[in-house]
Amino acid sequence: MSTLLPCISTHAAAQISSADRGAITQCLNASHTKNHCVGIVADACIKATSGDSQVEDAKACAVRERNVWAERLQASLTIVNDRFPALRPAMADAQANWLKSVGGLCPQFDDIDPGMYEGGGEYCRLQEVGRRALIIECMRSSRDTSGSAETCIDSLAGHCELAKGEDEKVCAARELADSKRRLQVAVRKTRDLGGPQSYWLTSRETLCPLFAVIDPGADRVGSNRCRRLETSGRAHVLERLAEAAEEH
């Protein structure tokens, strides 16, 4: 599989530092909500920017962290493809559609006003790459070493709070439905997203069902937890895009 960064950004790639790798690894090891680790390096870096070059410096901050997540994503894709060779076509298709989605969505931040959204399209790419890296890292989890893929994605999405009389399957479906409604609201507030969203949905529906193949799990909710994480994450990005458009 080819390297990731040239496919999603033309911004100059920053060299990855061991300190940035370490900061992200430390966050992931310490946090129960690992998806909150996306942005941990870039946010502090952006906060320190100032002056005439603030916009470009903020973009460079986002690229700096995104490169770490892209490295992690590439490593996990290699492991998953090696461990589950029968899934390689599906993984390749999911990634190809995801890249098209990111490529159509994230430049819209810069089209509106790069100064309104710190890091502009590059921060959007950071969020998308970070989330996808975490999902693929869950796919590589082994029952023999670090729990299971289903346990990992359940923790990543946020364990479902069971209502009275609910089981895990019903709870996962309910939370997915809530995330879909949130996404639909965000989509209605944005513009020209037919193509990117179509690619994203194809990617989600190719990738997430693979959890049921890799690790069906006791509760068999991994696929819906993956869908919920993808859906709520994309909704967050689109909400920020709508906010920038309204302020412009």
Is 2 within the bounds of a domain?
no
Residue 3, domain member (yes or no): no
DSSP string covering 74-114: HHHHHHHHHH-GGGHHHHHHHHHHHHHHHHHHTHHHHHH-T
Q: Give the residue numbers spanning the domain of 118.
A: 11-247
CA distance 116 to 168: 40
Walk along the chain (248 residues) and give the pLDDT tens digit of each residue.
443 444 455 454 557 999 999 999 999 988 677 888 999 999 999 999 887 788 889 999 999 999 999 999 999 999 999 999 999 999 999 999 999 999 999 998 888 765 545 788 999 999 999 999 999 999 988 654 556 888 888 888 877 777 777 788 888 888 899 999 999 999 888 877 889 999 999 999 999 999 999 987 767 889 999 999 999 999 999 998 888 777 76
CA of residue 130 relative to chain centroid, distance: 5
Burial 28-40 (b: 16+ CB within 10 A, else e): beeeeebbebbbb
Q: Are 116 and 248 in contact (CB under 8 A)?
A: yes
Predicted pLDDT at 215: 84
Domain count, the chain: 1
Residue 166 lies in a domain: yes
Question: Is 55 among the domain residues?
Answer: yes
Q: What is the pTM of this model?
A: 0.89
Q: Is residue 209 part of a domain?
A: yes
Does residue 157 lie in a domain region?
A: yes
Q: Give the chain's length.
A: 248
Q: How far apart are CA 63 and CA 33, in angstroms?
A: 23
Does 1 fall in a domain?
no
Judge contact between 9 and 122, C-beta under 8 A: yes
Domain-embedded: residue 206 = yes
What whole-number distance in Å separates Cα of residue 208 and Cα of residue 229?
10
Report the amino acid identity of residue 245. Answer: A
Chain-centroid distance, C-alpha 44: 20
